[in-house]
Amino acid sequence: MLYQKELSTALNAVQKASVLCRKVQKALVDVKAIEKKDRSPVTVADLGSQAIINLELLESFPDDPIVGEEDAGILRDNAELRRQVSDIVNEQVDTAAESRILEAIDIGAGDSNLTKRFWTVDPIDGTKGFLRGDQYAIALALVDNGEVVLGILGCPNFHKDHNQPDNGEGCLFYAVKGEGTYVSISGSDARNRISADMVTNGKDARFCESVESAHAAHEDHKRISDALGITLPPYRIDSQAKYAAVACGNASIYLRLPRTKAYREKIWDHAAGSIVVKEAGGQVTDFSGRSLDFSLGRTLEKNVGILATNGLMHQKTLDVISEVI
């Protein structure tokens, strides 16, 4: 298998980060959300998760750049928060000094050459879902020459049966280019290969979208859904768990049209999810049918809108988008 060492290291890192996040979410009454400059909440879990993942990657691949969502600035200004993050990180990794933890988090915030090989990490994708006790994902991907070649989604609250959303057993989805997509259930060594569904028409389809209307244009999504003949209510979940839902057949379509034309998606919000869907037989493009380009910096600068489908409904959905939007 290609990227065997990379996959083993990345799976280990995401599993450790998932344990940390589960522990913090269970003690959610004690979690303090801090407001970043962009007003989105960040917690001990975000910072601890990124620290663990970056420490593991640096140990095995010290020359690989890492692009992450968080930086350690807020920890340097808050001794109590710094202590909390340090304590919970050291429960999962070999003893790391506070200074090393801060350095590991900050590595993801630096400038890197993204035209070659690099990792991109979202330590908690769907922080608002995490704070509500709902869906979130720990997302890690390896990008080589602008193409995602490995992706992992740790979804601690996810259940493969969407009819049991409150019975989240926890799933780890992962994919390597050309090797298919697999899922393992939390606490089990068993892995199962998964595939997107075979739905070809709207009456049998279900689509995913963000819970937060501020993250995506629900009204436009409904117009697209109606034009496709979809009658089932939208499957609204937070984070890249939406990609997991398409990959395992819980949904046929994932739509994301930003609220403003100027907005560009962050690469860490889609890298891991995109390969998980594609290796499960699905397809991922922007609303113009272009592949997502991960080589242009920290955003998908040339891509507007995200469409992930089972593959069979992709062109039909693109045609409807072109007519409706």
Question: Hey, which residues are catalytic here?
Answer: 46, 127
Residues 4 and 295: their CA atoms lie apart, in Å, by 23
Q: How many C-beta atoms lie closer than 10 Å to residue 137's C-beta? A: 35
> Would strands 207-209 and 253-256 be described as parallel, antiparallel, or unpaired?
parallel
> Would strands 192-194 and 235-236 be described as parallel, antiparallel, or unpaired?
unpaired
Residues in the chain: 325
Write down the residue that tokens 């397809």 correspond to: 283
3 state SS for 259-275: CCCCCCCEHHHCHHHHH
Strand-by-strand arrangement of the 117-125 sheet:
66-68, 117-125, 137-144, 147-155, 171-176, 180-185, 192-194
| DSSP state letters, 216-263 | S-HHHHHHHHHHHT--SPPEE--TTHHHHHHHTTS-SEEEE--SSTT-
Query: According to DSSP H, which parts of 41-95 are helical?
Result: 44-60, 73-76, 79-89
Q: Is 199:181 a contact under the CB 8 Å cutoff?
A: no
Instruction: Say which amino acid occupies 307.
Output: L
Residues 251 and 68: their CA atoms lie apart, in Å, by 28
Residues 93 and 60: their CA atoms lie apart, in Å, by 14
* Nearest by Cα to 12 from 66, 67, 58, 56: 56
Tell me the CA distances in angstroms from 233 to 11, 218, 223, 253, 306, one per residue in order. 34, 12, 13, 12, 20
